[in-house]
Structure 1
Amino acid sequence: MNSKDPLVADGALVLDERRLRSFLQAFYHWYEEASSPAQQCSRSRVLLICLLVRFAALRLGEVLSLDDMADIDAQKGMIHVRGKWRRDLPLPRSALNRLLELRDAPCNIRARGELCHLDPAYVRRIFAMRAEEAGLSGLSPTGLRNFREQELLRHGVPLPTVEFFLGRRKGGQAAPGELAHLREVFRLWERASQTGRHNVVNGTLTLLQRGEFSCFLTLTTQAGTTFFIRCSTRTFVRLDLGERKKASAFIRSLQVVILSEKLDERNCFEGIVDDMLERGEEARVMIRLKSDSQQFCAILSLRRARDLALSRGSSVWVMIRPADFTFCGIEESAV
């Protein structure tokens, strides 16, 4: 990448919600494509480290020294960080549940307590490979940590509290009210994330192709609109999709793309803007497909919304990548 690349600013990779999700999806796909229990165990350990950096904003050295049994308090929803910048951090409940799911997986029983004790060079190499797959060459664990810092600030967390969360403040103890404030921010964030999952498509399922690692399917609504969906073969088997005639899939609001004109891509539909709400630097747009009663909610920057000249009644095109759908029944983090 060069200095003119829109993904780069001052020599550093610029990470936003959409790019972060692409990176995490690459990590999840890599994890789900493990070909043996031993490989699944190995990959789950790196995924565990990735999620700790993403949600707890830990330095890589802090993650690698973490005892996943002693330092994760499931009852209190806290992470104990060791070392020079020792501190106790609350985590969003959905993120904590995903960490516990990985830690307590049958394949990891023997390694529990030491799941995060991996070679830093190996972890950085895996990060770089997944970033390359997501088109984010140059993204590192530090980039994830920096994103979390900006995310907390955007959600209204005061700078001193963010400094505590990232371990930059001397003393390592939270000031009165800081932990309660963080928990409230996480609660509101999770509520917003759940609200963003209302983009559910219900219909008749048809398998087009089944491969060793992924499957290609269609989901056709009662009105006749067909959505193309790609999922991992592991997901296909786990949810018994081959035996189901009906299914539901959801798409998160941040993954719904609004266009001014049609692209020659699957899942590109013409729609009408039913409603639009502006808050700060973002806009929430409700779109109804012209060919169906199906509605989608999209969240985008206010600048992008104005570039598209969006308003109630506007005609737009909606595009959803087949791999961005998730079949209902799978618990995914906002990641």
Structure 2
Amino acid sequence: MNDMKSTGPEPAGKRFRAARIFSVPDDVKFLDTLELTRLSEAFSAWTDRAGRPDVAVSRNRVRLIFLLLRHTGARLGEVLALNDRMDVNLDNLSVMLGGGDGEGREVQIPAELGDALGAVFEDPAYGSLRGMLFKLDQGHVRRKFYERAEECGFTKELVNPSTIRRSRAVELLRDDVPLPVVQRILGHSTADLTAAFLHLPEDQRRKVERQVLTRETRRTSARNAFFGRVAQVQKGDIQSRVVVESLGGHAVSSVITNESIKNLGVTEGCFVTAEIKAPWVVLETCAEMPRATATNRFLGEVELVRLGELTSEVIVALSDGTRLCALITTKSARELELAAGQKVWAMFNAFAVVLHME
């Protein structure tokens, strides 16, 4: 869950990336992006398991508190003090934190969290709670956090609100967010000496923040793309096999040259996006996993079939919501009798997977 990994110097002519040399000391506890996603899913599943409407409301309030901590890096006290009527602006997707005794700071949130908050604001079941939606007992919130930690196999220390705050800071820094922006998001009064030599105008800070949130949204919504952590690098004499563990738990294999491994700085534990072009995705309608030379085989459900004169586009949704677009001949689409809702295997060769460093 923690690592001290850093890579060597940037090749000549390449853009300098702080994330390439950024490392975290072994004694600093934090959750990486995949682990934070697992925790988010645990909160969603817990909320969905509620047997009564009032229990669902109670659990969803805790879930929203977690999501605010996870995406803003706020202190628990700051989130619990939020007035959902005055401090949450869904028009520009932002929340105002720490405004009680000072001027406060505006922090932007991803569109997905904005949608979740908007749905709650419009739900009559939460009507009597408006203005104090997040005002829950700290002890109660922490207990629910620890319960979700146990479900995920994490220690209590790793889901402490301060650890989640630290995890967001690490995530942002690894995303090449300038230190002054991270300092501003977290509401730190000081940073290290580096911050003293950097200045970022407020409009530029907002732009960087929004770019990061947009990039994070693309990781979970883009077609034919799996964002995740490199779980294994198997070196060969000319090429290497790279296995990527995606946010949704899929293992995607890619074979690339050793030179590309070096130039990209791919190492076990780093984060990459694995992409596949639509013409390389092959579909099969058999019930069992097909015997094929394609290394990557995923069971999904046909979401859309768009028939053309010669070629057709088929969208397949995997279990975690990842969507694969396959471009096949219209003759093949008709022979397979593809239709929305149908179970189908989407397959592609490891040589067709292109890796992009995050």
Q: TM-score range by the shorter chain?
A: 0.5 to 0.7
Asked if 1:254 is matched to 2:228, the reply is: yes
Which residue number in structure 1 is paired with residue 46 of structure 2?
Answer: 30
Deviation for aligned residue 1:25 = 1.2
Which residue number in structure 2 is paired with residue 249 of structure 1?
Answer: none
For normalisation by structure 2, the TM-score amounts to: 0.56
What do the CA deviations read for 1:53-79 (whole angstroms, capped 9, x no partner)? 011111000001001111111112221
The question of whether the paired residues in 2 share the 8 Å contact of 1:164 and 1:174 is answered with: no
Percent identity over the alignment?
A: 29
Q: Map 1:1-335 onto structure 2 (within 5 A).
A: 10=26, 12-81=28-97, 82-84=99-101, 86-138=104-156, 139-169=159-189, 175-195=202-222, 197-198=223-224, 253-254=227-228, 273=254, 279-280=264-265, 281-285=270-274, 293=282, 325-326=319-320
* Alpha-carbon distance between aligned partners in 2 of 1:91 and 1:271, rounded to the nearest angstrom: 29
Larger Rg: 2
Q: How many residues align?
A: 238
Distance 1:33 1:181, change over 3 A: same
The question of whether the paired residues in 1 share the 8 Å contact of 2:88 and 2:95 is answered with: yes
Distance 1:328 1:316, change over 3 A: closer
Distance 1:60 1:269, change over 3 A: closer
Deviation for aligned residue 1:175 = 3.3
Distance 1:285 1:142, change over 3 A: same
For normalisation by structure 1, the TM-score amounts to: 0.60
* Alpha-carbon distance between aligned partners in 1 of 2:84 and 2:174, rounded to the nearest angstrom: 29
The question of whether the paired residues in 1 share the 8 Å contact of 2:70 and 2:164 is answered with: yes
The question of whether the paired residues in 1 share the 8 Å contact of 2:94 and 2:108 is answered with: yes
The question of whether the paired residues in 1 share the 8 Å contact of 2:62 and 2:141 is answered with: yes
* Alpha-carbon distance between aligned partners in 2 of 1:285 and 1:30, rounded to the nearest angstrom: 30
The question of whether the paired residues in 1 share the 8 Å contact of 2:227 and 2:274 is answered with: no
Distance 1:117 1:23, change over 3 A: same
The question of whether the paired residues in 1 share the 8 Å contact of 2:74 and 2:186 is answered with: yes
What do the CA deviations read for 1:22-60 (whole angstroms, capped 9, x no partner)? 211111110001111110110111011011101111100
For structure 2, list consecutive stretches of 5 or more residues without a partner in the other structure: 2-23, 191-199, 235-248, 285-292, 300-317, 324-358
Superposition CA RMSD, Å: 4.0
* Alpha-carbon distance between aligned partners in 2 of 1:60 and 1:52, rounded to the nearest angstrom: 9
Distance 1:11 1:150, change over 3 A: closer
The question of whether the paired residues in 1 share the 8 Å contact of 2:48 and 2:56 is answered with: yes
* Alpha-carbon distance between aligned partners in 2 of 1:145 and 1:269, rounded to the nearest angstrom: 27
Deviation for aligned residue 1:258 = 7.2
